[in-house]
Structure 1
Amino acid sequence: MKIKPATTFVFSLLLYKLIFAWGKVIDGGCMLSSTFCEPRWDHFHIGVDLRTPQGAGMAVYAPEDGYVVRVKVSPYGYGKQLYFKLVSGEVIMFAHLSGFAEQIEELVRKRQMNLKRYNVELWARKDELKFKKGEILAYTGETGAGTPHLHLECHNEEFGIAINPISNLNTSDHCPPVIKRVLFIPIGEKSFVRGAQAPLSVNANAYGKNYFSIKYPVSFIGSLALAIDCTDFTSSAIRNNLGIYSLSLLENDSIPIFSRTFDYLPDSLFYLTQYAWTGFEGNIYYNLFAMDLKAGILENNGNKRNLKIVCADYFGNRATLKLELIPGKNNQQKRNGVISKNNELGSLEANDSLLSLVNPTLSIIKVGDGYYLKIVSERELTSVPALIAQYTDSAGKGLKSDTIFAEARGNHSFFARFLPPRRSRRMALHIIFPLEAKSTIKKYSIETYFVDTRDRRIIKAFGGKFQARFLPGALSEPIWCFFLEESGSSKQPQYIMFPERLPLTRKIELGIRIPEGEKQTGIMIASSNGGKARFLGARIENGYVVGNTLFGGIFTCDLDTTAPLIKFPFVNNARVRNLNRLYCRISDEGSGFGGEYTPELYINGEWVPAEFDPEKNLLEYRLQNPLEPGKYEIRVVAIDRCSNRAEAKRTIIVEGQNTIPKKTTINRKNRGSK
């Protein structure tokens, strides 16, 4: 990824470019289904995805002369992977494969049988697995993925970067990008957009195939940053939402303010998506600024400013948006209504003219350089609520109260810019809402901690019931973390960590203390963001159940004491003929499967390398040789991530002459391309 602010600053290694072209990778050309650095919530997509119209089993060819350096097999994540080093030094990674060239497949199977384990990793010597340009390396598939496609990455190991491989692929794009909306972000506590401190999203208006505008001028005071929600397509017939290759912001059509091009990405930025885009109200916006470089920040100079945003794909198809910024004023005025408070925690009285909320929920988000309280009311409101923020130090002393007037962004959502005291490393924050009944309030008590990038720190919140462990370098920038304890739907409390998107370079460790007397078997820590529990870990350490995460959000302890469910497609003592595969369905409603473990299949007590598809809940073994007539015991063992074990057996009776049908979809002979 390259960044060009007005001073033409770029990330290091900007001058590094690919100067060679590859041979074909798959038959029929390379149709893109995902692009390099395409937005993902928790990481950069550091490769491209290619459509495979024929599904699994399409040949993957060596793009240049080279040799295999690494092979990895797993049912999760990237599935079956192959790393191929070109003579020019770049390493190409192919993922989600269904199989490998015959000599590679033999090595994989040998390692699996020796270790009695499906998940294996091979490292090859330079002269061990050489391939010429156009020879078959592997076959496309869907291992570790939801649908068949080929994931391809290009890396330069010397510089530690991922490179956009699109210039070397036989692909095309005839459609310009589409611009959906622009996000206006106030920078600094004295900045306002259309009279408010909250970020403002404005829909773009189309007035041609690839021309857009913001219909009315946007007023602001102070400092402002822009971000844009846009997408690309390769053709009118294939409507995959693809990422953008380059963006630029110009003033008066010609003066460059900021630009970004996705040519490469340093490995160290893999998780730091907030450098490239901002998440707001469920949408992802490409940043036209860089906070760490103070690039792309617009200042109100008292004059009208005409800006142009240009989005382009790699093939030069462009979309242009024009907008106008004008000097504004602070529209915040003293509302009617009186809030009286004293120095007792939670003390608040509100008269009838003060708007109240109905079943409000609260979150804290970070956009640009600001922290915002986001309040959502169950009932649609025509005015905005007032809040009280009370601060105390770590000892609960030094109470200070501020009145916060929230600003409407929609009929139910309200935002209030919030700046924690910079001097403190820990404080308590109490947010008090006036509720529907005129004399009632709702109070959120939030523990607040400041964490620096160099800190090696374990934060123990709520008397040690919830903890977060940060290692030096885990954060790319200093940040305030906010912790909230709530009663969940179950007996276990929920712990909420704000902001949800953290500037992390690696995962942090979270722990929830197990109550005294409670069993420590089958317990796990889970994230329930979006309402569905997601397993984070089940390791027990010093009385805590521990897991790892890249996100804040909602966390809770959950109990999984239910074993996986195994279903065979045949009854016991079933009589079969011409059997070419054995399979069963395995499901788990709790912690699920993952990591280095894969469900296992045994034939007459002998382990065989059965493949597990967690998306389809399918464990399958394709027979290499026909089974001789006779009786066979088929046994399956499945252990979930909370160590719940299930075992099921079936006996089959193989009758008559058995043959393995000839393969028609995958031909693993190592032949050259035609």
Structure 2
Amino acid sequence: MILTLLSFFGNAQVTPKYIFPINSGSQQYLAGTMGEIRHNHFHAGLDIRTGGKKGIPVRAIANGYISRIGVSEGGYGHVLYLTHLDKKTSVYAHLECFEKSIEAYTLNQQYQNETYPIRLFPQKNRFYFNQGDTIGYSGNSGSSSGPHLHFEMRNVKQEFLNPFDEFSFNEIQDDIAPIIKYIAFKCLDIDARVNGAYGTLLVQTTKKNDLFRIQKSIHLSGNIGIEIHHYDNMSGSTNQNGIPEVLLKVDQDTLFHQLKKSMSFAKQREISAHIDYPFSINNHITLNKLYKSDGNRLNIYIKNNQGYFFDQTPHELEIILKDNHQNISTLKAILNHEESYDSYYPNVSTFEIDENQLHYVNFDTSSKIFLQDTLIILQPYLSNRNKHYYLWDLRSGLPDSVKCGKLTIKPNFITEIPSEVDYSFHGEDFILELNKNSLFDTLYLQFTKGYDSLKDKMLYSFNDPTVPLRKEVIISINDPDPFKNEYQIFRVDKKNRLAYVGSERNTEGSFTFKTRQLGTFTLDTDSINPVITPISWNTRDLKFIIKDIKSGIKSYHATLDGHFLLMQYDAKKEMLSAYPKNRKKPIKGLFILEVEDNFGNKNKICKLL
């Protein structure tokens, strides 16, 4: 009996019962789930809606101590990390403010370090809370797009976990099955075909009798990858949330099984290999690959494939989606079951690089590939009236040019760079340095240098933004012009808008910068001071809008009678708000605010309050 009681209390201490972190005991709604596919990362937890309200008490889900405190202008904003007796950590982000003892401690540290953004690691048990205690208040701080609580569960390795696997709670109800909106069929080698063509065919689904189907007749041959666009609507919410479990079966054989139970922050960039990244950039539709492509290091796949080889015979396709409440959706289709099908003519404007293939189209019935001293005559693999499609495997060599009648295509290939190796390329106009983790797959490096007479700028283009990078690459652009000593690197988008990147000028005349996105860059300068606009300027409330139209805000600093005055910065609103140590006392004295941009241009305002 004694042993039984000891065992019970021992287990109770190791695995505490969790409660819902906000408005516990009443129905709540989600705006995001763990593992959900975002722009450049997997969502790490639950986004719990607060009905557009801020200041709702956030509770400790179990006994524990505050192990980390964060305040940032973007990202998680005001965030708390609560470590529990079972060594797991719960995370509460985008808070408006902390519990008063944590708030006072944080404010004191901000003043000591004279900074608004700060990361703190308090001594263990300095801030200890029991289950249900208020640790903070919900808000909209950081990169939040609206008031809500971002909540995470992490294990001892700080991997983020699916909260639905960690504990059950009745606050979230869902009886709506997931949605499969699109299915795509992607050619994975030069001999693969989808309805007679090479490319990615996107097909919208229909639903009948709780089963998703495709009306279009699909004919596949060769190595094909299956991709889907999916989401999960939950009861009482219109948000399109993520789905943890996906299965793909062909002829009743499971080829792919994805299950998101835990994920590593160190592998967040692997999302670019998990989805069809180029398709997402070009078409603004996110496709989840149901195969594991080269370079993908994620470990969320129970079973995977590198495509399925389709012959000419019929095949049964089945895709199963299961959400966090075990609602299930299924798509079924029979492929290659009809001899006739609608031909697919890919939308290729001049040329594109897809996987290892150079895919191009023109109006001539033959094409000439110029490969160093070799001339190769290529025949179209597909024709549609006066339009002819061609494929060239880049592993057979990088063409100098392609001639089709009077049209000459210059892909501007420089070299082939393998993945998983340290690599440095030195050219006449630039140096490119990569480490072994920079690339997911082989990079067929393209480079052009051209003068834009309208902008009076030299443009340097490295491939395009559809090439995903796992880690930063280092680029040094050579321009020895001494008049450009004060210039820095900017990115140029498709609409010719400039975005500040930054760079360092070395003694040889090169501008060196790091980037995790290829594309077009240029050199430019900025001589315009930041703008400071007072919104509220009195002894009780100091608020300012700060803007810089070109290179962006680098820093801000305020003093009152020569002493540091903390300014809270809301990057979304571009607003600075004074936060004195003693908020009950009026702000009196000589107030000075100085703002600096990334080129060192400064603006300063002052007033005797």
Q: With structure 1 as the length reference, what TM-score do the two structures score?
A: 0.76
Q: Out of 360, 363, 373, which is 1:398 matched to? A: 373
1:330 Cα offset (Å): 13
| Match in the other structure for 2:546 | 586
Contact 1:192/1:330 (CA < 8 Å) preserved in 2? no
Contact 2:414/2:444 (CA < 8 Å) preserved in 1? yes
C-alpha distance in 1, partners of 2:139/2:383?
48
| Match in the other structure for 2:9 | none
Contact 1:211/1:319 (CA < 8 Å) preserved in 2? yes
C-alpha distance in 1, partners of 2:472/2:262?
23
Contact 1:216/1:324 (CA < 8 Å) preserved in 2? no
What letter corresponds to residue 62 of structure 2 in structure 1? E
| Match in the other structure for 2:8 | none
Q: Out of 125, 128, 150, which is 2:126 matched to? A: 128
| Match in the other structure for 1:660 | none
C-alpha distance in 2, partners of 1:469/1:605?
46
> Structure 1 residues 310, 401: CA separation in 2 closer, same or farther (over 3 Å shift)?
same
Q: Out of 386, 395, 402, which is 1:421 matched to? A: 395
What letter corresponds to residue 176 of structure 1 in structure 2? A
1:639 Cα offset (Å): 1.2
Output aligned runs, 1:208-227, within 5 Å.
208=209, 210-227=210-227
| Match in the other structure for 1:35 | 33
| Match in the other structure for 2:315 | 305
| Match in the other structure for 2:3 | none
1:193 Cα offset (Å): 1.0
C-alpha distance in 2, partners of 1:389/1:491?
36
Contact 1:364/1:499 (CA < 8 Å) preserved in 2? no
C-alpha distance in 1, partners of 2:551/2:175?
45
> Structure 1 residues 79, 470: CA separation in 2 closer, same or farther (over 3 Å shift)?
same
What letter corresponds to residue 566 of structure 1 in structure 2? I
CA RMSD between the two structures? 3.4
What letter corresponds to residue 247 of structure 1 in structure 2? V
Q: Please, which runs of 5 or more residues in structure 1 have no aligned partner?
A: 1-17, 334-356, 376-382, 653-674
> Structure 1 residues 327, 644: CA separation in 2 closer, same or farther (over 3 Å shift)?
farther
What letter corresponds to residue 260 of structure 2 in structure 1? F
| Match in the other structure for 2:286 | 284
C-alpha distance in 2, partners of 1:295/1:118?
48
> Structure 1 residues 603, 309: CA separation in 2 closer, same or farther (over 3 Å shift)?
same
C-alpha distance in 2, partners of 1:69/1:627?
32
The structure in which a higher percent of residues are helix is 2
Contact 1:477/1:503 (CA < 8 Å) preserved in 2? no
1:421 Cα offset (Å): 3.0
C-alpha distance in 2, partners of 1:36/1:248?
18
Secondary structure of the residue aligned to 2:108 is helix
C-alpha distance in 1, partners of 2:16/2:207?
39
Q: Please, which runs of 5 or more residues in structure 2 have no aligned partner?
A: 1-13, 295-302
C-alpha distance in 1, partners of 2:522/2:365?
31
C-alpha distance in 2, partners of 1:151/1:386?
57
1:510 maps to 2:512: no
| Match in the other structure for 1:338 | none
1:249 Cα offset (Å): 1.3
> Structure 1 residues 384, 203: CA separation in 2 closer, same or farther (over 3 Å shift)?
farther
1:484 maps to 2:448: yes
Output aligned runs, 1:31-430, within 5 Å.
31-145=29-143, 146-158=145-157, 161-167=159-165, 168=167, 170-208=171-209, 210-235=210-235, 237-252=236-251, 254-279=252-277, 280=279, 281-292=283-294, 295=305, 297-326=307-336, 364-366=352-354, 369-373=355-359, 390-392=369-371, 397-401=372-376, 403=378, 405=380, 417-421=391-395, 429-430=400-401
What letter corresponds to residue 470 of structure 2 in structure 1? T
Contact 1:466/1:495 (CA < 8 Å) preserved in 2? no
| Match in the other structure for 2:566 | 609
Percent identity of the aligned residues?
Answer: 20
C-alpha distance in 2, partners of 1:312/1:305?
23
1:25 Cα offset (Å): 0.6
Secondary structure of the residue aligned to 1:202 is strand
Contact 2:558/2:565 (CA < 8 Å) preserved in 1? yes
Query: How many residue pairs were aligned?
Result: 570
1:315 Cα offset (Å): 0.8
C-alpha distance in 1, partners of 2:368/2:154?
49
> Structure 1 residues 628, 55: CA separation in 2 closer, same or farther (over 3 Å shift)?
closer
> Structure 1 residues 43, 532: CA separation in 2 closer, same or farther (over 3 Å shift)?
farther
What letter corresponds to residue 617 of structure 1 in structure 2? E
> Structure 1 residues 182, 445: CA separation in 2 closer, same or farther (over 3 Å shift)?
closer
1:450 Cα offset (Å): 2.4
Contact 1:118/1:598 (CA < 8 Å) preserved in 2? no
> Structure 1 residues 183, 617: CA separation in 2 closer, same or farther (over 3 Å shift)?
same
| Match in the other structure for 2:532 | 566
